[in-house]
Amino acid sequence: MKTGVTGATGQLGRLVIAALLQKNLAPSDIVAIVRNPEKAADLAKQGITIRQGDYNKPETLEKALAGLDQLLLISANEVGKRLLQHRHVIEAAKKNQITHLVYTSLLHADTSAINLAEEHRQTEALIRESGIPFTFLRNGWYHENYVQAIVNAVLQGMLAGCAGNGKIASAARADYAEAAAVVLATSGHENKMYELAGDEAWTMDDLAKEITRQTGKQIVYLNMSEQEYASLLAGSGLPAEIAQMIAGWDAAIAHGHLFDDSHQLGKLIGRPTTPIADTVKKALESIK
């Protein structure tokens, strides 16, 4: 059984490959699909097959996917260009008669107001139309998305945002990677989707309290309007469009769009998900 992983030199991809090896998949049965093979030298040293495949170049993908049985398509990271990029991968998977296509989507992609959801909804639709048996891993937020905010909070004495009292059921990137490895290494996941989120849900106020607890320094959460938050982000040097997009995520969080309490991630990996307190601890260690 040959298993391909796209985005294999990315942060999630590397963790998925490590988790697959831990689940005793033979390195020779894992194919890392990367746009820059030089970045994958360490994976090659572990015996993993490296193939070049660029989401923007369909001909490279057709070759890269040859002979694979199953494929993890890790969603691309260029927002706005991803549907076409994903289409190229799905078409190559179809041509190569891949029998199981696993895709990293977004939590509650079908109903989510997070502005990233549309590309995921459309990609899920393309995969369904392809007729390839699929699994949708609808990933919630990574804890790691907050590392920089935690570091800044310690320096500035406050966290800022417009997420209100919205609960965020995030989990560590490694938790999501392990879930992907479980789906690839075990049977019975075809034509299913999993809403993957952390066991613990927290608000920005809870996060401020956790940073306070771990540092002994008073950190408050300043909640503002979506426009005020976008202006704050733009003022700190982010392009206006990106600032607006990030503020939009927070606004959706305020309405519960990153909350889930079905515990499907913990069930899939067979252990509780990583607490946000662990990520706070790591972030604080990085500035000691």
Binding footprint of ligand NAP on the chain (CB under 6 A)? 7, 9-13, 35-36, 39, 54-56, 74-77, 104, 139, 141-142, 145
With respect to ligand NAP, which residue has the nearer C-beta, 175 or 210?
A: 175
With respect to ligand NAP, which residue has the nearer C-beta, 9 or 70?
A: 9
In 3D space, the residue among 38, 54, 43 whose CA is nearest the CA of residue 17 turns out to be: 43
With respect to ligand NAP, which residue has the nearer C-beta, 44 or 220?
A: 44
With respect to ligand NAP, which residue has the nearer C-beta, 182 or 288?
A: 182
Q: How far is the CB of 225 from ligand NAP (least distance, A)?
A: 24
Q: Using H for helix, E for strand and C for coil, what is the string for 132-191?
A: CCEEEEEECCEHHHHHHHHHHHHHHCEEEECCCCCCECCECHHHHHHHHHHHHHCCCCCC
Q: Which residues contact 245 (CB under 8 A, 6 or more apart)?
A: 79, 115
Q: How far is the CB of 185 from ligand NAP (least distance, A)?
A: 19
Strand order in the sheet with 134-139: 49-52, 30-34, 3-6, 70-73, 100-106, 134-139, 192-196
Q: How far is the CB of 195 from ligand NAP (least distance, A)?
A: 13
Q: Rounded to whole angstroms, how far apart are CA atoms 173 and 148? A: 15
With respect to ligand NAP, which residue has the nearer C-beta, 7 or 208?
A: 7
Residue nearest to ligand NAP (CB): 10
Q: How far is the CB of 226 from ligand NAP (least distance, A)?
A: 19
Q: How far is the CB of 36 from ligand NAP (least distance, A)?
A: 5
